[in-house]
Chains A and B, each alone.
Chain A
């Protein structure tokens, strides 16, 4: 039984179809890397999974919960799915520790002590426990993104979504974030990662997904995906982004 099931999911913005009858099954613990040209619907796909966007047609089931647009389903899904954004989206007016404890205290009814303990555990895991009392703007981009990952982990989600987590970073900071993500992948977290970091994809992906024009064009394990992609569009794309 897959933990995430999308069948014929369609999402429109006005008359523009951002996702066109997309189907995808993801097993518990599976690591999926999604790539494709800009505007192909990658963000829309993962945003539908945690209902930041509500799909117009088709069915999405996450860990047994069918996303029918109801408040109850929405609340249950938010508990299970964490998200890391391209722009980090840390809360700028709160210290790092408060960024991390806000969710657990308000939405998980943890006491402040419990929440701090969880926060420090995950800050240690992303290797910046010493930054706990600073404010987001005092940290580098790479550190901020690691805080954002820790913030998502503090909610102890079943599934983590990453939307181009390294695209806003200076090149020298990309690896520190990818290293943390590799560590997470090794711990067995179910992950869907939108990224063009193909080195990372080769290392951790169980499944590669290639999207174009709101459709999933190709789904394959990385060995086949990188050496022998089926579609011409995918070949073309890989040629453009892979180093020669």
Chain B
């Protein structure tokens, strides 16, 4: 329907409203925050190198050829860490929403389905789920599954239970009057959800969704156990050949740290941009 593009352009229209410009300068406060974080990282590094342990930073020294290659090798894991996490979170948001909706029903059977899914999926450790999907699922379903998709499915499945709970809480926080108004302009259930309830609920749960993305980025490291070439796997492989676990895993820590600081800054920026409707 033609209303879709109109509704979807909303953020830009909002952005055009001058009184909301404050929300549009997300980096106004950022410089000293970033400086603060950089200082923290330097301090951390300084402390670490100052320790009595026998440091050998040469393994990742970008001024030497081998150090530079090693660094590049470590950083190349970023691609799959991000691709894996983003694909998994997108799927888990959709699945989570589909699981949340029956949980909001008056029908006890539908609510039961929601509870069953959430309780079961939440109870399985992610690592166990990864192993089961990669080694077990192909036998059950007689399919072959790539490491990447096994990782995505396991991460998405496990996260979807949490997403479902987040969506349920977000949707329940929307005032009953919004449903009544939608009813009084003849919207059906799907349109009420799509145009009235979810756009408001998503604004409210954005911080929680951001948290889940951060969580996902961290949990994606577990997929290294089935051979996914992401950050953690790369580090493990380099440790085997270079035998400098301290330096390499320190780099690994920093890689995740920087990645997640960037993501949380992005989420906060999005949040400010969308914060337009508080009455």
Chain A interface (Cβ < 8 Å from any Cβ of B): 50, 52, 75, 78-79, 81-83, 85, 87, 89-95, 98, 101-103, 105-108, 111-112, 133, 135-138, 148, 151-152, 154-155
Q: A98-B6, A108-B186, A135-B277 are in contact. Are A93 and B199 (CB under 8 A)?
A: yes
Chain A residues within 8 Å of B191, by CB: 106-107
Q: CA–CA, A89 to B197, complex, Å?
A: 12
Of A81, A83, A102, A136, chain B has the most CB atoms within 10 Å of the CB of: A102
B6 touching A91, Cβ below 8 Å: no
Q: CA–CA, A105 to B10, complex, Å?
A: 17
Q: A94-B7, A137-B279 are in contact. Are A103 and B200 (CB under 8 A)?
A: no
**B22 close to A (CB within 8 Å):** no
Q: A85-B180, A105-B1 are in contact. Are A135 and B276 (CB under 8 A)?
A: yes
Contacting residue for A93 out of B10, B181, B183, B188, CB 8 A: B10
Chain B interface (Cβ < 8 Å from any Cβ of A): 1-3, 6-7, 10, 13-14, 17, 19, 175, 177-178, 180-188, 191, 195-196, 199-200, 203, 276-279
Chain B residues within 8 Å of A101, by CB: 3
A102 touching B185, Cβ below 8 Å: yes
A93 touching B276, Cβ below 8 Å: yes
Q: A50-B184, A108-B186 are in contact. Are A102 and B195 (CB under 8 A)?
A: yes
Chain B residues within 8 Å of A133, by CB: 13
Shortest Cβ distance from residue A67 to the other chain B in the assembled complex, whole angstroms = 14
Shortest Cβ distance from residue B4 to the other chain A in the assembled complex, whole angstroms = 10
Q: A105-B2, A106-B195 are in contact. Are A155 and B186 (CB under 8 A)?
A: yes
Contacting residue for A78 out of B10, B184, B279, CB 8 A: B184
B178 touching A89, Cβ below 8 Å: yes
Shortest Cβ distance from residue B226 to the other chain A in the assembled complex, whole angstroms = 42
Contacting residue for A151 out of B2, B7, B185, CB 8 A: B185
Q: Tell me the number of A-to-B contacts counted with CB atoms below 8 Å.
A: 96
B7 touching A83, Cβ below 8 Å: no
Contacting residue for B187 out of A95, A103, A112, CB 8 A: A103
B184 touching A93, Cβ below 8 Å: no
A112 touching B2, Cβ below 8 Å: yes
| Nearest residue, chain B, Cβ from A51 | B183
Main SS at interface, chain B: helix
Shortest Cβ distance from residue B191 to the other chain A in the assembled complex, whole angstroms = 5
Chain B residues within 8 Å of A90, by CB: 181
A152 touching B13, Cβ below 8 Å: no
Shortest Cβ distance from residue A107 to the other chain B in the assembled complex, whole angstroms = 4
Shortest Cβ distance from residue B130 to the other chain A in the assembled complex, whole angstroms = 38
B186 touching A107, Cβ below 8 Å: yes
Contacting residue for A103 out of B14, B180, B185, CB 8 A: B185
B186 touching A93, Cβ below 8 Å: no
Q: CA–CA, A105 to B3, complex, Å?
A: 7
Shortest Cβ distance from residue A76 to the other chain B in the assembled complex, whole angstroms = 10
Chain A residues within 8 Å of B195, by CB: 91, 94, 102, 106
Shortest Cβ distance from residue A205 to the other chain B in the assembled complex, whole angstroms = 23
Chain A residues within 8 Å of B1, by CB: 105-106
Interchain Cβ contacts under 8 Å between A and B, 9 examples: A50-B183, A82-B184, A91-B181, A91-B182, A92-B277, A92-B279, A93-B276, A103-B186, A137-B278
Shortest Cβ distance from residue B17 to the other chain A in the assembled complex, whole angstroms = 8
Shortest Cβ distance from residue A137 to the other chain B in the assembled complex, whole angstroms = 5
Q: CA–CA, A158 to B34, complex, Å?
A: 60
Q: A105-B1, A106-B195, A112-B2 are in contact. Are A137 and B277 (CB under 8 A)?
A: yes
Contacting residue for A89 out of B19, B177, B187, B188, CB 8 A: B177
Q: A79-B186, A103-B185 are in contact. Are A91 and B279 (CB under 8 A)?
A: no
Q: A85-B177, A93-B203, A112-B2 are in contact. Are A155 and B7 (CB under 8 A)?
A: no
| Nearest residue, chain A, Cβ from B178 | A89
Chain B residues within 8 Å of A112, by CB: 2-3, 6
Chain A residues within 8 Å of B180, by CB: 52, 83, 85, 89
B3 touching A102, Cβ below 8 Å: yes
Chain A residues within 8 Å of B17, by CB: 135
Q: CA–CA, A154 to B186, complex, Å?
A: 11
Of A75, A105, A152, A154, chain B has the most CB atoms within 10 Å of the CB of: A105
Of B19, B181, B182, B188, chain A has the most CB atoms within 10 Å of the CB of: B181
Q: CA–CA, A94 to B196, complex, Å?
A: 9
Chain A residues within 8 Å of B3, by CB: 101-102, 105-106, 112
